[in-house]
Amino acid sequence: MKKYEPQHEEILSAGIDIGTSTTKLVISKFSLMNMAGGMHMPRIEIINKEVLHRSPIYRTPLLSQATIDMEAVDELVKKEYANAGIGPNDIQTGAVIITGETATKQNAQEMVHHLSDHAGEFLVATAGPDLEGIIAAKGSGAYEYSKKTGKVIANIDIGGGTANAAVYKSGKLCGTCTLHIGGRLIEFTGNQIKSISPPIKQLFRQWGSPYSEITVGGIRNRYEIKRLTDFMAAVIARMLKRDLSAADQPLLLGHDPNWREDIDEIMFSGGISECLYKYEMGTFGTVTYNDIGEMLAASLRENRELSEWKWITPDETVRATVLGAGTQTTEISGATIHVEEKDLPLRNLPVFQVPFGHEFKKGLNRMREAVKQALDMFDPQGEGQNFALYITELPYLGFRDVQELADMILEAIKVKPNPAQPLVIVLESDHAKVLGQTIKVQNQEQSIICIDQIRVEHGDYIDIGHLLQTGVVPVVIKTLTFHH
Protein backbone atom coordinates (compact mmCIF):
# COMPACT_ATOMS: atom_id res chain seq x y z
CA MET A 1 0.00 0.00 0.00
CA LYS A 2 1.58 3.33 -1.03
CA LYS A 3 1.90 5.97 1.69
CA TYR A 4 -0.87 8.20 0.27
CA GLU A 5 -3.39 5.37 0.08
CA PRO A 6 -5.88 5.06 2.94
CA GLN A 7 -4.84 2.71 5.76
CA HIS A 8 -8.49 2.27 6.73
CA GLU A 9 -11.52 1.42 4.60
CA GLU A 10 -15.15 0.41 5.04
CA ILE A 11 -16.98 -1.97 2.71
CA LEU A 12 -20.58 -3.10 2.51
CA SER A 13 -21.54 -6.73 2.19
CA ALA A 14 -24.91 -8.28 1.33
CA GLY A 15 -26.08 -11.81 2.02
CA ILE A 16 -29.14 -13.14 0.20
CA ASP A 17 -30.51 -16.60 1.00
CA ILE A 18 -33.26 -18.03 -1.20
CA GLY A 19 -34.43 -21.16 0.60
CA THR A 20 -37.13 -23.80 0.19
CA SER A 21 -39.58 -21.88 2.40
CA THR A 22 -38.14 -18.45 3.03
CA THR A 23 -35.99 -15.73 1.50
CA LYS A 24 -34.06 -13.18 3.53
CA LEU A 25 -31.38 -10.53 3.14
CA VAL A 26 -28.76 -8.99 5.41
CA ILE A 27 -26.58 -5.90 4.83
CA SER A 28 -23.37 -5.66 6.88
CA LYS A 29 -20.49 -3.20 7.16
CA PHE A 30 -16.88 -4.30 7.58
CA SER A 31 -14.03 -2.03 8.67
CA LEU A 32 -10.68 -2.95 7.10
CA MET A 33 -7.27 -1.76 8.30
CA ASN A 34 -3.63 -2.29 7.40
CA MET A 35 -2.27 -3.98 10.52
CA ALA A 36 1.39 -4.08 9.39
CA GLY A 37 3.97 -1.48 10.44
CA GLY A 38 5.34 1.06 7.95
CA MET A 39 8.34 -1.03 6.89
CA HIS A 40 6.41 -4.31 6.56
CA MET A 41 4.33 -5.87 3.79
CA PRO A 42 0.73 -4.64 4.13
CA ARG A 43 -1.66 -6.95 5.90
CA ILE A 44 -5.30 -5.93 5.61
CA GLU A 45 -7.60 -7.31 8.29
CA ILE A 46 -11.24 -6.85 9.21
CA ILE A 47 -11.24 -5.11 12.58
CA ASN A 48 -14.99 -4.63 12.98
CA LYS A 49 -18.25 -6.06 11.62
CA GLU A 50 -21.70 -4.63 12.05
CA VAL A 51 -25.11 -5.73 10.76
CA LEU A 52 -26.79 -2.62 9.32
CA HIS A 53 -30.03 -4.12 8.02
CA ARG A 54 -31.97 -7.36 8.37
CA SER A 55 -34.90 -7.87 6.03
CA PRO A 56 -38.19 -9.37 7.17
CA ILE A 57 -38.43 -13.08 6.42
CA TYR A 58 -40.29 -13.53 3.15
CA ARG A 59 -41.92 -16.64 1.77
CA THR A 60 -39.80 -17.68 -1.24
CA PRO A 61 -41.64 -16.54 -4.41
CA LEU A 62 -42.23 -19.43 -6.85
CA LEU A 63 -43.95 -19.42 -10.24
CA SER A 64 -44.47 -23.19 -9.99
CA GLN A 65 -43.13 -26.18 -8.05
CA ALA A 66 -40.14 -26.18 -10.46
CA THR A 67 -39.46 -22.46 -11.03
CA ILE A 68 -38.38 -19.51 -8.87
CA ASP A 69 -40.19 -16.22 -9.56
CA MET A 70 -37.10 -14.21 -10.53
CA GLU A 71 -38.94 -10.91 -10.96
CA ALA A 72 -40.49 -11.16 -7.50
CA VAL A 73 -37.08 -11.94 -5.92
CA ASP A 74 -35.62 -8.98 -7.83
CA GLU A 75 -38.33 -6.66 -6.50
CA LEU A 76 -37.83 -7.96 -2.98
CA VAL A 77 -34.05 -7.25 -3.14
CA LYS A 78 -34.61 -3.74 -4.59
CA LYS A 79 -37.13 -2.97 -1.86
CA GLU A 80 -34.75 -4.09 0.90
CA TYR A 81 -31.85 -2.10 -0.58
CA ALA A 82 -34.11 0.98 -0.60
CA ASN A 83 -35.13 0.30 3.02
CA ALA A 84 -31.44 0.09 3.95
CA GLY A 85 -30.73 3.33 2.05
CA ILE A 86 -28.19 1.78 -0.34
CA GLY A 87 -27.86 0.99 -4.05
CA PRO A 88 -26.30 -2.04 -5.81
CA ASN A 89 -23.13 -0.02 -6.54
CA ASP A 90 -22.54 0.39 -2.79
CA ILE A 91 -22.13 -3.38 -2.32
CA GLN A 92 -18.59 -4.66 -2.74
CA THR A 93 -18.98 -8.23 -1.57
CA GLY A 94 -21.38 -10.85 -0.28
CA ALA A 95 -23.15 -14.00 -1.34
CA VAL A 96 -26.30 -15.06 -3.12
CA ILE A 97 -27.08 -18.54 -1.88
CA ILE A 98 -29.86 -20.80 -3.09
CA THR A 99 -30.46 -23.48 -0.50
CA GLY A 100 -32.54 -26.56 0.22
CA GLU A 101 -34.91 -27.77 -2.47
CA THR A 102 -34.81 -24.35 -4.17
CA ALA A 103 -31.33 -25.28 -5.45
CA THR A 104 -32.98 -27.97 -7.60
CA LYS A 105 -35.36 -25.54 -9.36
CA GLN A 106 -34.98 -25.27 -13.14
CA ASN A 107 -33.80 -21.65 -13.06
CA ALA A 108 -31.67 -21.75 -9.86
CA GLN A 109 -28.36 -21.05 -11.64
CA GLU A 110 -29.96 -18.33 -13.76
CA MET A 111 -31.33 -16.76 -10.58
CA VAL A 112 -27.97 -16.43 -8.79
CA HIS A 113 -26.21 -15.10 -11.90
CA HIS A 114 -29.01 -12.62 -12.51
CA LEU A 115 -28.84 -11.35 -8.92
CA SER A 116 -25.05 -11.16 -8.93
CA ASP A 117 -25.24 -8.98 -12.06
CA HIS A 118 -27.86 -6.66 -10.60
CA ALA A 119 -27.26 -6.62 -6.85
CA GLY A 120 -23.56 -5.70 -6.51
CA GLU A 121 -20.16 -7.43 -6.45
CA PHE A 122 -21.22 -10.87 -5.38
CA LEU A 123 -19.60 -14.13 -4.64
CA VAL A 124 -22.03 -16.46 -6.42
CA ALA A 125 -22.72 -19.84 -4.89
CA THR A 126 -25.57 -22.21 -5.43
CA ALA A 127 -25.05 -24.07 -2.20
CA GLY A 128 -25.00 -27.82 -2.59
CA PRO A 129 -26.14 -29.65 0.55
CA ASP A 130 -22.61 -30.02 2.00
CA LEU A 131 -21.73 -26.37 1.46
CA GLU A 132 -25.09 -25.31 2.90
CA GLY A 133 -24.38 -27.25 6.10
CA ILE A 134 -20.96 -25.57 6.42
CA ILE A 135 -22.40 -22.07 5.86
CA ALA A 136 -25.22 -22.63 8.37
CA ALA A 137 -22.81 -23.94 11.03
CA LYS A 138 -20.81 -20.73 10.72
CA GLY A 139 -23.91 -18.51 10.89
CA SER A 140 -25.45 -20.38 13.84
CA GLY A 141 -22.34 -20.06 16.02
CA ALA A 142 -21.56 -23.81 16.07
CA TYR A 143 -18.21 -23.37 14.28
CA GLU A 144 -17.08 -20.63 16.68
CA TYR A 145 -18.30 -22.65 19.70
CA SER A 146 -16.23 -25.66 18.59
CA LYS A 147 -13.17 -23.38 18.25
CA LYS A 148 -13.63 -21.96 21.75
CA THR A 149 -14.34 -25.26 23.52
CA GLY A 150 -12.40 -27.82 21.45
CA LYS A 151 -15.53 -29.99 21.55
CA VAL A 152 -17.08 -31.97 18.70
CA ILE A 153 -20.29 -30.13 17.84
CA ALA A 154 -22.87 -31.01 15.20
CA ASN A 155 -24.97 -28.21 13.74
CA ILE A 156 -28.20 -29.50 12.19
CA ASP A 157 -29.79 -26.84 10.00
CA ILE A 158 -33.38 -27.88 9.25
CA GLY A 159 -35.36 -25.80 6.78
CA GLY A 160 -38.30 -26.50 4.52
CA GLY A 161 -36.78 -29.29 2.48
CA THR A 162 -33.53 -30.54 3.98
CA ALA A 163 -31.64 -31.10 7.24
CA ASN A 164 -27.97 -30.25 6.68
CA ALA A 165 -25.57 -31.46 9.36
CA ALA A 166 -21.99 -30.18 9.66
CA VAL A 167 -19.70 -31.49 12.40
CA TYR A 168 -16.82 -29.37 13.74
CA LYS A 169 -14.05 -30.03 16.25
CA SER A 170 -11.84 -27.14 17.40
CA GLY A 171 -12.90 -25.11 14.34
CA LYS A 172 -11.99 -27.91 11.90
CA LEU A 173 -14.67 -29.51 9.70
CA CYS A 174 -14.98 -33.24 10.50
CA GLY A 175 -17.76 -34.08 8.03
CA THR A 176 -21.27 -33.44 6.71
CA CYS A 177 -24.51 -35.25 5.98
CA THR A 178 -27.83 -34.17 4.46
CA LEU A 179 -31.28 -35.68 4.95
CA HIS A 180 -34.64 -35.17 3.23
CA ILE A 181 -36.09 -33.81 6.48
CA GLY A 182 -37.85 -30.45 6.64
CA GLY A 183 -41.03 -28.61 7.51
CA ARG A 184 -42.51 -28.39 4.01
CA LEU A 185 -42.19 -32.00 2.92
CA ILE A 186 -45.90 -32.29 3.62
CA GLU A 187 -48.07 -29.18 3.20
CA PHE A 188 -51.72 -28.67 4.11
CA THR A 189 -54.63 -26.51 3.03
CA GLY A 190 -57.17 -26.36 5.83
CA ASN A 191 -57.79 -29.96 6.84
CA GLN A 192 -56.52 -31.46 3.60
CA ILE A 193 -53.08 -32.56 2.38
CA LYS A 194 -51.92 -30.15 -0.33
CA SER A 195 -48.56 -31.77 -1.24
CA ILE A 196 -46.26 -34.67 -0.32
CA SER A 197 -42.63 -34.60 -1.44
CA PRO A 198 -41.20 -37.59 -3.41
CA PRO A 199 -38.92 -38.93 -0.59
CA ILE A 200 -41.91 -39.03 1.80
CA LYS A 201 -44.06 -40.79 -0.82
CA GLN A 202 -41.29 -43.39 -1.17
CA LEU A 203 -41.14 -43.83 2.61
CA PHE A 204 -44.93 -44.26 2.83
CA ARG A 205 -44.82 -46.88 0.07
CA GLN A 206 -42.09 -48.68 2.00
CA TRP A 207 -44.19 -48.60 5.19
CA GLY A 208 -47.27 -49.97 3.39
CA SER A 209 -50.85 -49.64 4.62
CA PRO A 210 -52.24 -47.35 6.07
CA TYR A 211 -49.35 -44.97 5.08
CA SER A 212 -49.38 -45.88 1.39
CA GLU A 213 -52.98 -44.59 1.34
CA ILE A 214 -51.99 -41.08 2.50
CA THR A 215 -52.34 -38.96 -0.66
CA VAL A 216 -52.81 -35.36 -1.81
CA GLY A 217 -56.41 -34.33 -1.09
CA GLY A 218 -56.59 -36.75 1.85
CA ILE A 219 -57.38 -35.77 5.43
CA ARG A 220 -54.71 -34.20 7.62
CA ASN A 221 -54.25 -37.31 9.77
CA ARG A 222 -52.58 -36.22 12.99
CA TYR A 223 -51.51 -39.63 14.33
CA GLU A 224 -49.88 -41.00 11.18
CA ILE A 225 -48.19 -37.75 10.25
CA LYS A 226 -46.87 -37.37 13.82
CA ARG A 227 -45.45 -40.85 13.49
CA LEU A 228 -43.60 -39.61 10.39
CA THR A 229 -42.06 -36.61 12.24
CA ASP A 230 -41.12 -38.90 15.17
CA PHE A 231 -39.37 -41.15 12.65
CA MET A 232 -37.55 -38.10 11.18
CA ALA A 233 -36.26 -37.14 14.64
CA ALA A 234 -35.06 -40.73 15.21
CA VAL A 235 -33.29 -40.71 11.82
CA ILE A 236 -31.45 -37.51 12.81
CA ALA A 237 -30.29 -39.22 16.03
CA ARG A 238 -29.09 -42.29 14.08
CA MET A 239 -27.35 -40.05 11.54
CA LEU A 240 -25.48 -38.27 14.37
CA LYS A 241 -24.36 -41.69 15.67
CA ARG A 242 -23.33 -42.71 12.09
CA ASP A 243 -25.78 -45.58 12.38
CA LEU A 244 -28.35 -45.12 9.57
CA SER A 245 -30.33 -48.27 8.75
CA ALA A 246 -31.60 -49.57 5.40
CA ALA A 247 -35.09 -48.33 6.36
CA ASP A 248 -33.70 -44.76 6.70
CA GLN A 249 -32.28 -44.65 3.15
CA PRO A 250 -35.24 -42.85 1.45
CA LEU A 251 -34.42 -39.84 3.66
CA LEU A 252 -30.66 -39.78 2.89
CA LEU A 253 -29.61 -37.18 0.31
CA GLY A 254 -26.14 -37.97 -1.05
CA HIS A 255 -23.43 -39.61 1.06
CA ASP A 256 -23.56 -41.25 4.50
CA PRO A 257 -22.28 -39.35 7.57
CA ASN A 258 -18.52 -39.06 6.90
CA TRP A 259 -17.00 -37.93 10.22
CA ARG A 260 -15.14 -40.30 12.55
CA GLU A 261 -15.49 -38.46 15.82
CA ASP A 262 -18.17 -39.06 18.47
CA ILE A 263 -20.33 -35.97 18.85
CA ASP A 264 -20.21 -34.17 22.22
CA GLU A 265 -22.95 -31.56 21.80
CA ILE A 266 -25.54 -30.52 19.20
CA MET A 267 -27.05 -27.29 17.90
CA PHE A 268 -30.14 -26.76 15.74
CA SER A 269 -30.54 -23.87 13.29
CA GLY A 270 -32.86 -23.14 10.35
CA GLY A 271 -36.62 -22.60 10.22
CA ILE A 272 -37.38 -25.64 12.38
CA SER A 273 -35.11 -24.33 15.15
CA GLU A 274 -37.13 -21.12 14.97
CA CYS A 275 -40.09 -23.33 16.00
CA LEU A 276 -37.94 -24.47 18.96
CA TYR A 277 -36.52 -21.11 20.08
CA LYS A 278 -38.90 -18.39 18.75
CA TYR A 279 -36.13 -15.79 18.22
CA GLU A 280 -38.04 -13.85 15.61
CA MET A 281 -40.96 -13.06 17.97
CA GLY A 282 -43.72 -12.59 15.44
CA THR A 283 -41.59 -11.17 12.61
CA PHE A 284 -41.62 -14.52 10.85
CA GLY A 285 -44.11 -14.10 7.99
CA THR A 286 -44.99 -17.81 7.96
CA VAL A 287 -45.98 -18.30 11.59
CA THR A 288 -49.28 -19.85 10.53
CA TYR A 289 -47.50 -22.93 9.25
CA ASN A 290 -49.51 -25.04 6.88
CA ASP A 291 -46.94 -27.80 7.02
CA ILE A 292 -45.32 -30.32 9.39
CA GLY A 293 -42.77 -27.82 10.82
CA GLU A 294 -44.22 -27.39 14.33
CA MET A 295 -44.88 -31.12 14.57
CA LEU A 296 -41.28 -31.89 13.57
CA ALA A 297 -39.97 -29.44 16.20
CA ALA A 298 -42.13 -31.21 18.83
CA SER A 299 -40.75 -34.60 17.72
CA LEU A 300 -37.17 -33.30 18.10
CA ARG A 301 -37.92 -32.06 21.62
CA GLU A 302 -39.52 -35.38 22.60
CA ASN A 303 -36.91 -37.74 21.11
CA ARG A 304 -35.06 -39.66 23.83
CA GLU A 305 -31.87 -40.33 21.79
CA LEU A 306 -31.49 -36.64 20.90
CA SER A 307 -31.89 -35.67 24.56
CA GLU A 308 -28.74 -37.72 25.37
CA TRP A 309 -26.67 -34.86 23.90
CA LYS A 310 -26.37 -31.41 25.42
CA TRP A 311 -28.24 -28.91 23.19
CA ILE A 312 -26.38 -25.62 22.66
CA THR A 313 -28.57 -22.60 21.93
CA PRO A 314 -27.72 -21.14 18.49
CA ASP A 315 -26.82 -17.48 17.86
CA GLU A 316 -29.27 -17.51 14.96
CA THR A 317 -32.16 -19.78 13.96
CA VAL A 318 -33.81 -19.12 10.60
CA ARG A 319 -31.17 -16.52 9.66
CA ALA A 320 -28.12 -18.75 10.25
CA THR A 321 -27.46 -19.30 6.54
CA VAL A 322 -27.97 -15.70 5.44
CA LEU A 323 -25.64 -14.49 8.22
CA GLY A 324 -23.23 -17.20 7.13
CA ALA A 325 -22.89 -15.38 3.81
CA GLY A 326 -20.43 -12.60 3.77
CA THR A 327 -17.11 -11.76 5.49
CA GLN A 328 -14.24 -10.62 3.33
CA THR A 329 -10.57 -10.18 4.11
CA THR A 330 -7.47 -9.56 2.01
CA GLU A 331 -4.22 -11.41 2.59
CA ILE A 332 -0.88 -11.29 0.85
CA SER A 333 0.65 -14.51 -0.44
CA GLY A 334 4.18 -15.63 0.29
CA ALA A 335 6.89 -14.18 -1.96
CA THR A 336 8.01 -17.53 -3.45
CA ILE A 337 5.07 -18.44 -5.66
CA HIS A 338 4.39 -19.60 -9.22
CA VAL A 339 1.64 -17.72 -11.09
CA GLU A 340 0.83 -17.07 -14.73
CA GLU A 341 -0.02 -13.41 -15.15
CA LYS A 342 -2.34 -14.01 -18.14
CA ASP A 343 -4.74 -16.00 -15.90
CA LEU A 344 -5.06 -13.35 -13.19
CA PRO A 345 -7.21 -12.10 -11.61
CA LEU A 346 -9.24 -15.17 -10.66
CA ARG A 347 -12.52 -14.72 -8.83
CA ASN A 348 -14.82 -16.78 -6.64
CA LEU A 349 -12.88 -20.04 -6.40
CA PRO A 350 -14.22 -22.41 -3.76
CA VAL A 351 -11.48 -24.01 -1.65
CA PHE A 352 -11.25 -27.78 -1.12
CA GLN A 353 -8.84 -28.86 1.62
CA VAL A 354 -6.59 -31.92 1.20
CA PRO A 355 -4.90 -32.64 4.56
CA PHE A 356 -1.83 -34.91 4.30
CA GLY A 357 -1.72 -35.52 8.07
CA HIS A 358 2.11 -35.22 7.86
CA GLU A 359 2.20 -38.59 6.02
CA PHE A 360 3.29 -38.14 2.42
CA LYS A 361 2.16 -41.49 0.92
CA LYS A 362 -1.26 -41.36 2.61
CA GLY A 363 -1.80 -37.82 1.36
CA LEU A 364 -0.80 -38.78 -2.19
CA ASN A 365 -3.29 -41.65 -2.15
CA ARG A 366 -6.03 -39.21 -1.10
CA MET A 367 -5.48 -36.82 -4.00
CA ARG A 368 -7.63 -38.55 -6.66
CA GLU A 369 -10.55 -38.97 -4.27
CA ALA A 370 -10.17 -35.35 -3.09
CA VAL A 371 -10.54 -34.00 -6.64
CA LYS A 372 -13.65 -36.17 -7.17
CA GLN A 373 -15.17 -34.93 -3.90
CA ALA A 374 -14.39 -31.32 -4.85
CA LEU A 375 -16.21 -31.84 -8.16
CA ASP A 376 -19.22 -33.36 -6.33
CA MET A 377 -19.33 -30.44 -3.92
CA PHE A 378 -18.64 -27.45 -6.18
CA ASP A 379 -19.51 -28.62 -9.69
CA PRO A 380 -22.25 -31.27 -9.34
CA GLN A 381 -23.70 -30.42 -12.78
CA GLY A 382 -20.30 -30.72 -14.53
CA GLU A 383 -20.46 -27.12 -15.76
CA GLY A 384 -16.74 -26.49 -15.27
CA GLN A 385 -16.77 -24.49 -11.99
CA ASN A 386 -13.09 -24.24 -11.09
CA PHE A 387 -11.85 -24.66 -7.51
CA ALA A 388 -8.63 -24.36 -5.52
CA LEU A 389 -6.96 -27.36 -3.88
CA TYR A 390 -5.70 -26.35 -0.42
CA ILE A 391 -2.93 -28.77 0.54
CA THR A 392 -2.16 -28.82 4.28
CA GLU A 393 -0.08 -30.77 6.83
CA LEU A 394 2.66 -31.63 4.34
CA PRO A 395 5.72 -33.31 5.85
CA TYR A 396 9.25 -32.28 4.80
CA LEU A 397 9.46 -32.72 1.01
CA GLY A 398 12.57 -33.80 -0.86
CA PHE A 399 13.07 -33.24 -4.60
CA ARG A 400 11.63 -36.70 -5.48
CA ASP A 401 8.59 -36.07 -3.26
CA VAL A 402 7.82 -32.80 -5.07
CA GLN A 403 8.00 -34.65 -8.43
CA GLU A 404 5.67 -37.39 -7.15
CA LEU A 405 3.22 -34.81 -5.80
CA ALA A 406 3.24 -32.93 -9.12
CA ASP A 407 2.65 -36.23 -10.99
CA MET A 408 -0.27 -37.20 -8.76
CA ILE A 409 -1.94 -33.76 -9.00
CA LEU A 410 -1.75 -33.83 -12.82
CA GLU A 411 -3.19 -37.36 -12.82
CA ALA A 412 -6.02 -36.48 -10.38
CA ILE A 413 -7.26 -33.41 -12.31
CA LYS A 414 -7.85 -35.43 -15.50
CA VAL A 415 -11.43 -36.04 -14.30
CA LYS A 416 -12.24 -32.28 -14.39
CA PRO A 417 -14.76 -31.40 -17.12
CA ASN A 418 -12.46 -28.59 -18.29
CA PRO A 419 -8.82 -29.63 -17.59
CA ALA A 420 -7.50 -26.63 -19.60
CA GLN A 421 -8.66 -24.15 -16.93
CA PRO A 422 -5.96 -22.89 -14.52
CA LEU A 423 -4.89 -25.44 -11.91
CA VAL A 424 -5.09 -23.49 -8.63
CA ILE A 425 -3.14 -24.79 -5.63
CA VAL A 426 -2.92 -23.09 -2.25
CA LEU A 427 -0.29 -24.42 0.15
CA GLU A 428 -0.06 -23.93 3.88
CA SER A 429 3.72 -24.47 3.73
CA ASP A 430 6.43 -22.71 1.72
CA HIS A 431 6.54 -24.99 -1.36
CA ALA A 432 4.57 -23.03 -3.97
CA LYS A 433 7.40 -22.01 -6.30
CA VAL A 434 9.08 -25.42 -6.51
CA LEU A 435 5.77 -27.32 -6.87
CA GLY A 436 4.43 -24.88 -9.50
CA GLN A 437 7.64 -25.07 -11.54
CA THR A 438 7.76 -28.89 -11.31
CA ILE A 439 4.17 -29.21 -12.58
CA LYS A 440 5.04 -26.83 -15.43
CA VAL A 441 8.06 -28.94 -16.42
CA GLN A 442 5.89 -32.08 -16.45
CA ASN A 443 3.10 -30.45 -18.46
CA GLN A 444 4.05 -27.32 -20.43
CA GLU A 445 0.41 -26.80 -21.54
CA GLN A 446 -1.04 -26.72 -18.02
CA SER A 447 -1.74 -23.24 -16.67
CA ILE A 448 -0.77 -23.12 -12.98
CA ILE A 449 -1.43 -20.71 -10.11
CA CYS A 450 0.42 -22.01 -7.04
CA ILE A 451 0.52 -19.80 -3.94
CA ASP A 452 1.44 -20.27 -0.29
CA GLN A 453 1.46 -18.64 3.15
CA ILE A 454 -2.31 -18.19 2.97
CA ARG A 455 -4.64 -19.39 5.72
CA VAL A 456 -7.93 -20.46 4.22
CA GLU A 457 -10.54 -22.96 5.28
CA HIS A 458 -12.50 -25.72 3.62
CA GLY A 459 -15.57 -24.07 2.08
CA ASP A 460 -14.06 -20.57 1.83
CA TYR A 461 -14.00 -18.76 -1.51
CA ILE A 462 -10.96 -16.86 -2.78
CA ASP A 463 -10.15 -14.13 -5.30
CA ILE A 464 -6.52 -13.94 -6.48
CA GLY A 465 -5.43 -10.51 -7.76
CA HIS A 466 -2.72 -9.38 -10.19
CA LEU A 467 0.95 -10.02 -9.44
CA LEU A 468 2.42 -7.06 -7.53
CA GLN A 469 5.90 -5.57 -8.13
CA THR A 470 7.15 -7.26 -4.96
CA GLY A 471 6.38 -10.68 -6.47
CA VAL A 472 3.35 -11.43 -4.27
CA VAL A 473 -0.37 -11.58 -5.05
CA PRO A 474 -3.21 -10.14 -2.98
CA VAL A 475 -5.71 -12.84 -2.03
CA VAL A 476 -9.24 -11.96 -0.99
CA ILE A 477 -10.65 -14.66 1.26
CA LYS A 478 -14.42 -14.65 1.37
CA THR A 479 -15.10 -16.69 4.44
CA LEU A 480 -18.75 -17.65 4.43
CA THR A 481 -19.28 -16.79 8.05
CA PHE A 482 -20.46 -14.00 10.27
CA HIS A 483 -19.36 -13.45 13.87
CA HIS A 484 -21.11 -10.98 16.13
Residue 153 pLDDT = 98
The larger pLDDT score, comparing residue 344 to residue 248, is at: 248
HSE on the CB side for 437, CA within 13 Å?
Answer: 7
Distance of CA 290 to the CA centre of its chain: 28
List, for residues 58-104, the tens digit of each pLDDT value: 989 989 878 889 999 999 999 999 999 999 888 866 677 787 777 77
By percentage, how much of the chain surpasses pLDDT 70?
A: 84
Q: What are phi and psi of 459, to 5 degrees?
A: 95, -10
Closest CA to 145 of 165, 177, 163, 169: 169
123-125 and 91-98: which strand pairing? parallel
pLDDT tens digit string along 418-471? 878 999 999 988 788 889 999 999 998 899 999 887 778 777 788 787 676 556
For residues 417 and 455, which has the higher predicted lDDT (pLDDT)?
417
Single out the residue of 290, 326, 397 nearest to residue 92, CA to CA: 326
Distance CA 471, CA 336 (A): 8
pLDDT tens-digit map of 250-304: 999 989 999 999 999 999 999 899 999 887 765 544 445 689 999 999 999 999 9
C-alpha distances (whole Å) from 54 to each of 51, 84, 283, 366, 393 are 7, 9, 11, 42, 40
Closest by CA position to 323, among listed 102, 14, 40 = 14
Which pLDDT does position 484 carry in this prediction? 22
200 has a pLDDT exceeding 70: yes
Could you tell me which residue, 354 or 419, shows the higher pLDDT?
354
Collapsing DSSP to helix, strand or coil, 470 comes out as coil
Integer Cα distance of 481 and 135 in angstroms: 7
State the Cα–Cα distance between residues 88 and 253, nearest whole angstrom.
Answer: 36
> Where is 347: in which H helix or E strand?
strand 346-355
Residue 381 has pLDDT above 50, yes or no: yes
Instruction: Indicate the pTM of the whole model.
Output: 0.70
pLDDT at 2 > cutoff 60? no
Phi, psi for residue 266 in degrees, rounded to 5: -130, 155
What is the pLDDT, as a whole number, of residue 477?
67
The residues near 378 (Cβ < 8 Å, ≥ 6 apart) are: 128, 131, 350, 352, 385, 387
Determine the length of the chain: 484
pLDDT at residue 330, rounded to an integer: 42
